[in-house]
Amino acid sequence: MAVGVRDAGAEPVVAPMADGGEGTAELLADASPSAARHDVTVADAVGRPATAAWWNLGDGRAVLDLASASGLPAVADVKDARAASTRGTGELIRDCLNHGIRDLTVCLGGSATTDGGSGIVTALGGAVLDAEGNPLPPGGGPLADAAAIDTDGLDPRLAGVRWTLLLDVTTPPRDAPAVFGPQKGASADDVNHLTGALLTWCGLTGADPDAPGFGAAGATPVGVAAIAAAAGAPAPEIQRGAAVVAGAMGILDLLPESAPAGVGLVLTGEGSVDGQSDVGKVAGFLLDRAAGTDPATPVHLIGGRVDAQSPVVKRAAGATALDAPFAETLPALREAAHRATLGHRP
């Protein structure tokens, strides 16, 4: 895209963005001069050995993507919506504790799971039990039989942990299976089962099944909140991932509120620009931010697919769908950015 802008005779300002999904942790680490990457062998969402990463930011702070250990792409060959678990993310967090981390930012997005964060609970020493007191197998499906949570074995170091969860959705737990389950391999029967299972899990943990955002990453915030409460730690702080990354990447300075923007045009996009792009995602956030400058800054969207009827497209100054095979994405992006820049130059 930057090359296309130069082709049009303009000067690009390149500012990578993410919204809490895959890649967010690495971007935030890149903005921290002392960040050190740690690679850890954990279980992926279906229990196979995998390598996941977290970044030590110094001063007891760390950041990680849930998708690094429990992401959907790594298990695309064997999607199992009912059995997929966040246990690997819990194992990654345990390694953070081993390195003295006490301020932990977890970026939620791109998960393969709908287990309410119960896998994180068990990886950190807790247990989810059925009516007979037996531990349940991993995954969101078994939560339908959950009758109790045993937190006596939780890692005592959790008492001193401050949690920050970065979200890119506003979905509540009740709706998480219906909204995100199909892309994780859930059938209609799976969606119904997982919905009931998450409602049971919310009942056990005391979580509000209609709390906005708590359905992120298969309702992972529900489990994290239960861990914090049981450990006597502060409740997790919920933040919008796009706003946090925009601040770290300098985008808030380029698009100041109620002031002239430092740029004349914003180019952004995602794989599919559609109805989910408006709330919590990069495109929707940048449109909101650009609209707040004085005068408003035009935004042009570029995507592999573009739904012309979606709210983000209707709010944008323009939108381009890449009409090219996937292998030709880079030249197609260059051409789209070139044309968009020419079309929006004063």
Candidates 83, 50, 48; CA nearest to 69 is: 50
Q: What is the pLDDT of residue 21?
A: 83
The SS3 assignment for 271 reads: strand
Q: What is the mean pLDDT of residues 108-129?
A: 97
Give the neighbor-by-neighbor strand order of the sheet with 36-43: 36-43, 49-58, 61-65, 103-107, 162-167, 237-240
From 81-85, 221-225, 243-247, 279-283, the region with the lowest mean pLDDT? 279-283
Q: Is 269 left (phi over 0), alpha (psi -120 to 50) or beta?
A: left
DSSP strands (E only) in 274-311: 299-306
Q: What is the pLDDT of residue 276?
A: 84
Residue-wise pLDDT for 51-104, tens only, equals: 999 999 999 999 999 999 999 999 999 989 999 999 999 999 999 999 999 999
d(CA 318, CA 340) in angstroms, rounded, equals: 8
Q: With pLDDT > 70 as the criterion, what percentage of the chain qualifies?
A: 100
Cis peptide before 73 (omega within 30 of 0): no
Which pTM does this prediction carry?
Answer: 0.92
Residue 346 pLDDT greater than 80, yes or no: no
Question: What are 6's strand-pairing partners?
Answer: none
Q: With pLDDT > 90 as the criterion, what percentage of the chain qualifies?
A: 92
Residue-wise pLDDT for 323-340, tens only, equals: 889 899 999 999 999 999
Band (pLDDT 50/70/90 cuts) for residue 345 is: confident
Tell me the pLDDT of the chain averaged across its residues.
96
Q: What is the pLDDT of residue 324?
A: 87
Residue 3 pLDDT greater than 90, yes or no: yes
Residue 160 pLDDT greater than 80, yes or no: yes
Q: How many CB atoms lie within 10 A of CB 343?
A: 14
CATH class of 24-241: alpha beta
Q: What is the mean pLDDT of residues 294-298?
A: 96
Show me where the domains of the chain are located.
2-15+256-344, 24-241
Phi, psi of 253 (to 5 degrees): -75, -35
